[in-house]
Chains A and B, each alone.
Chain A
Amino acid sequence: MSEINSIEKEALSEKESAQAHGKCMLNRRKFLMYSGSTAAAASTISITLFAGTAQAETRQARVQGYPRKKIANLSQLKDHQPVSFNYPDDGKNTQAMIVKMGGVQAGGGVGAKRDVVAFSYMCTHQGGPLHNTYKHVGDQRVMGQCPLHLSTYDLRRHGIIVSGQAYQSLPQVLLEVEGDDVYAVGIMGLLFGRENNLSA
């Protein structure tokens, strides 16, 4: 069982308190924000990835560098209506969206039902715009097809490619919740067109 899964279970069992959210996201942030041994500048701490699995390993995790930016109020998000924002800065290739996916739980999801997620709007194949391509079919939630070359991403599964040509999963914006406020705190994956998410 992966750590993510156990965190989710743990969090859900702790009655959705703000404290539990915070704990969950802190853990998640540790989990997601590791970087390779080549990362130099950011301060790092040791964390255990994939605890309890065959792939368990200790890595240096980057825990700072990304801004903490408020992007939405939980109570104002409506099911299946994505809201745009820019992250990590307001420069090029930073358009992203946050969406509440109608009560369907997702990896990295926040909110009572873990159904609020945020992703980059730029296809990681060749930068095609994914605006207006959010779709919900049964309990599946996707972005795509990209108008350029038809790539589609699974929003329940950290932006994994469903079908298509992209070179990496759709970058997922990591979220934290404090009361009713939703904060973007990091990005998993490289934004199209950038050589470093934080280089603007």
Chain B
Amino acid sequence: MTIDYYKPEDHAPLPPKNADVLTTACDHCIVACGYKVYRWPVGSKNGGKKASENAFGIDFPSNMLQSWVAPTQHSVVIHKGKKHNVVVLPDKDTNFVNTNGDSSIRGGLLAQKCYSPDRETRDRLKTPLVRINGKLQPVSWDFAIDVAAQVGRYIIDTFGEASYGVKTYSYQYIENTYAITKFALRHVNTPNFTFHDTPANVTSTPGFRDAGFDNFGPSYDDWASADTLMICGTDPYETKTVLFTQHIMPAIAKGMKVIALNPRETAGIAYINKMGGLQLDVYPGSDTLVLGAISRIIMQNGWEDKDWIKTWVNNKWESNSGFGQGTRNTPWQWRTTWGKFQTKGYEDYKKWNLKQKEYDPEYAAKKAGIDVKKLYKAAEWLAKPVNGKRPKTSIGIEKGFYWSNNTGNTNAISTLATICGTGGRPGQVVGRFGGHQRGGQGGGGYPRNKSAQKVPGRRRQALDTDRWLYSGHTCMAHVVGTTWIQSMAGSQAMAAKFEELVVKNPNQVRSNNKQDVIDTLKKRADSGGMVVIDQDIYLRDPIGAKFADIIFPAATWGEEDFMRANGERRLRLYQKFNDAPGEAKPDWEIISMLARKMGYDGFDWKNSNDVAEEASRFSRNSRKAFHMVKVAAHIEGKTLHQKMREFGTDGIQGPVMYNYKTGKLYGTKRLHDTTVGEKQFAMMGLEHGPEKANRYGKKMTHFNSQTGKVNIQKHPWGLFSDLWEWLSPRKDELWASNGRVNEVWQSGFDDVEHRPYITQRWPGNWVEINPADAKKRGIESGDIVMMYTDRLPVFTTTLLGVHGNDFQFSELMKNGYIKLKKASVSAIAIVTPTTKKGVMYGNFLDMKQPNNSLTVRVPDNISGNYNYKMGVAKVKKIGESEFKKDFRGMSFAPRNIT
């Protein structure tokens, strides 16, 4: 293992008084803390220790919580061709999000991310590359774009648009995602399209969608104003750090109760437990059972929120209404399983729940591997009135939860929330906590009717691009800013398929002549092979390093003006403050060059503001609608980006409204806000309804359902139980679940390999094993272990489902659509009580040893998402890592020490 060890410095420069100061926000997790970039030329004088001599206006040494520059927060970058110092620090003056100028370890190190010829980031991609004679060779933009456009055009014209696959990030700035989706969906119009985290272009939280809950309705202070907060499948301290440290943590200190549904006890959960919280440490995938049982306990005791249910839950007739389209044509009916989720209202749900044997608390607790008393306690905290007063309950979920049993878990939590009166009121909110930031802006609709995949029932389902590729139908894989292979389930099987279709195809480029390159790649497609285009900031292995035929170097954070929203829909401008490396260009520009060359119109943007201004009107129905910012900007004679810059790190929360009378813009604190009154409408100039370009959609004051009320849903365990029972560990197997850690979270794409400080902490792949499981297998911390399985189910074929159960796991198995594959991953063992006995917790996205290799590659049969957290494996010691005895890297200290 080669590691760039961190070399601690004992000094760092202070920015001088006259340093340029630009605002931005963190590039990493959903919270998007506000940051300031201080920039001054190398060679000019640094700031001094006196308040009058530095840009912070404070004396050094500084005090606790004051500004300070750690050596890792300084970097030397290129700005307008000249070397400049930059210091990137959390904004101490911001009024929202990271109040107090707080930051996470990820944001705190933003300066390390910048391209610098003198640092680890020197290996950024700088020129377009084309693979010739097996090696990636630098070429001009014209050359690379010509090849990509001609081959792409040929593939679409010859094999149809579904042969042109686009796999892209969904979040890396509004300007880029708009351009990419305009190209892929509106112009190429391919159903072979999806985002970085899912094999098909589907909703991440089907249960929320069908209930009518937006994923990101609440504001950050909402999460701190409940009496009881239930956190499912995440430790917000690790993964939305500042939401936890600045909002949730102070509320816990003041007495907010927290229920954590999570098999691991990481630092934040340990803090919650220390403060008297309740941890439901369930086995992976058993959440639906636990939630169904808690709902049952609440209903049997009559603790449900009767007033809320009466006012805000759809009854039989409302459940069936579909705004004139009929019950058969609402999204949740498209999910094929008519009658499986729909209820005739609360009483009907209650009757159903009480009839299901698996929601008996004893049964549920036993399957989940927890003490049944915890379920009763949770029910009390969530819903039992104290002195006649109901507790205010909020519920937040994230991937550990919705990537375990995607449909069932999100159905069950929506129902539990509704029974508790959660949703649509301050301190009573429901939503996702979030992963990456929200930078998606659709530039075209997904052509569902072109998908070759159909589930039983009426509707076609968004195409599973992995299975489509696996079946040999993808001739062009156009990848934008994602690893594809490591980030999808069954990674090793997928890599083998890429190799077969790309590298082992006889048509390999052997000539520098452009026409030869084009002809060879066309022949590759003709012969059943696949061509790969990769746009990224670094050369990723294997998608770029081994498979890509054409590589486009991308510019990123800090190298272009971009817009994006965070997990409370807060929009900010992320300002350009340094030059992109070499000839790298932002993705919107790369796409515009390619699209024009392929003959598509409407890609003549001159700068990123042009793209944002075009995109704005398509944002109007979105939770982060920013169209009115542009309207206001133009009235004031400014551009959209100029107006956004004025908001600094405070930004503005979408959807944004504009009062034409006062000329003021108003953000939206929370969606589904049932408490909004006349006064607020009048303030926004909307007392007579939305004026002019303003749009005030249903989700502002109601839920996203056919009636505006909540659909209370059933959550049948049987849709998932056959897979769960089949998968459950046999003999000496353990659950092989996975996830990420605080130090590397939404930052894996650059910080593990380019920040020695992080590399020394996590120098290789790792897995947490409970001491009891480790002892039995003779494993100690620091040992290298192999996790291996011959029970990896892989769903291989694209199907048209006909009968109701065709996509049920047991039926797929019976009918031969599931192949059992072998997979193995090695990792450094961390023996720790933080993970539950019987459950291994591996590193989600190691580039060399992707834990997803062990993840069941059978998409959720209703939603089409992968359940990445589900896998089983045996584990054995195969050696010892250098870190077992060397003190310079890694740490084996448990993360739950309080």
Contact = CB atoms under 8 A, between A and B. Distances in A.
Nearest to B76: A38
B8 A168 contact: yes
A68 B898 CA distance: 34
Given A5-B885, A161-B105, A55 B10 contact: no
Interface in B602-616: none
A83 to B, nearest CB: 22
Interface stretch (A70-78, A122-130, A177-185): A122-130
Contact of B887 (A140, A156, A167): A156
Contacts of B108: 125, 165-167
Interface string A123-150: 0111111000001010011101100111
B271 A126 contact: no
A135 B897 contact: yes
5 contacts: A5-B886, A137-B893, A145-B897, A149-B241, A152-B895
Interface in A144-200: 144-145, 148-150, 152, 154, 156-158, 160-169, 171, 187-200
Contacts of A189: 8-10, 71
Contacts of A127: 62-66, 68
Contacts of A171: 8, 10
Contacts of B201: none
Interface in A1-55: 1-2, 4-5, 34-36, 39, 50, 54-55
A55 B8 contact: no
Contacts of A144: 897
Q: Name the 9 nearest CB pairs between A and B, nearest first.
A: A107-B887, A167-B70, A127-B64, A189-B8, A193-B61, A196-B11, A140-B893, A154-B891, A92-B61
Contacts of B13: 195
A152 B8 CA distance: 18
Specify which of A5, A50, A165 lies most central, judged by the most chain B CB atoms within 10 Å of its CB.
A165
Interface of B: 2-14, 49, 60-66, 68-73, 102-105, 108-109, 237-238, 241, 245, 266-268, 271, 741-743, 757, 760-761, 882, 885-895, 897-898
Contacts of A195: 11-14, 49, 60-61, 69
Given A189-B8, A189-B9, A163 B895 contact: yes
A195 to B, nearest CB: 5
Contacts of A154: 891, 893
B60 A193 contact: yes
A194 B70 contact: no
Interface of A: 1-2, 4-5, 34-36, 39, 50, 54-55, 91-93, 106-108, 122, 124-129, 135, 137, 140-142, 144-145, 148-150, 152, 154, 156-158, 160-169, 171, 187-200
Contacts of B49: 195, 199
Given A157-B888, A157-B889, A190-B10, 7 more contacts: A137-B897, A142-B893, A152-B897, A160-B890, A169-B8, A189-B10, A192-B68
Nearest to B4: A55
Specify which of B69, B104, B742, B891 lies most central, judged by the most chain A CB atoms within 10 Å of its CB.
B891
A107 B271 CA distance: 28
A154 B889 CA distance: 10
Contacts of B888: 2, 4-5, 107, 157-158
Contacts, number: 186
B68 A137 contact: no
A50 B72 CA distance: 21
Contacts of B63: 92, 127, 193
A68 B65 CA distance: 30
A132 to B, nearest CB: 13
Nearest to B896: A163
A176 to B, nearest CB: 18
A196 B742 CA distance: 28
Contacts of A4: 886-888
A124 B8 CA distance: 12
A8 to B, nearest CB: 8
Contacts of B8: 168-169, 171, 188-190
A39 B741 CA distance: 35
Nearest to B3: A55
Contacts of B898: 145
Given A55-B2, A128-B64, A190-B71, A2 B757 contact: no
B741 to A, nearest CB: 8
Nearest to B888: A2
A98 to B, nearest CB: 18
A91 B898 CA distance: 30
B158 to A, nearest CB: 48
Nearest to B90: A126
Contacts of B742: 163-165
Contact of A1 (B73, B237, B760, B882): B882
Contacts of A196: 10-12
Given A165-B104, A166-B105, A150 B271 contact: yes
A50 B245 CA distance: 38
Nearest to B46: A195
A36 B9 contact: yes
B237 to A, nearest CB: 6
Given A195-B13, A195-B69, A167 B60 contact: no
Contacts of B14: 195
B268 A150 contact: yes
Nearest to A114: B887
Contacts of B69: 195
A168 B11 contact: no
Contacts of A125: 103, 105, 108
B267 A145 contact: yes
Contacts of B761: 160-161
A186 B743 CA distance: 28
Contacts of B894: 137, 140, 162
Contact of B71 (A54, A92, A150, A168): A168
Nearest to B771: A138
Contact of B886 (A2, A122, A142, A187): A2
Nearest to B245: A149
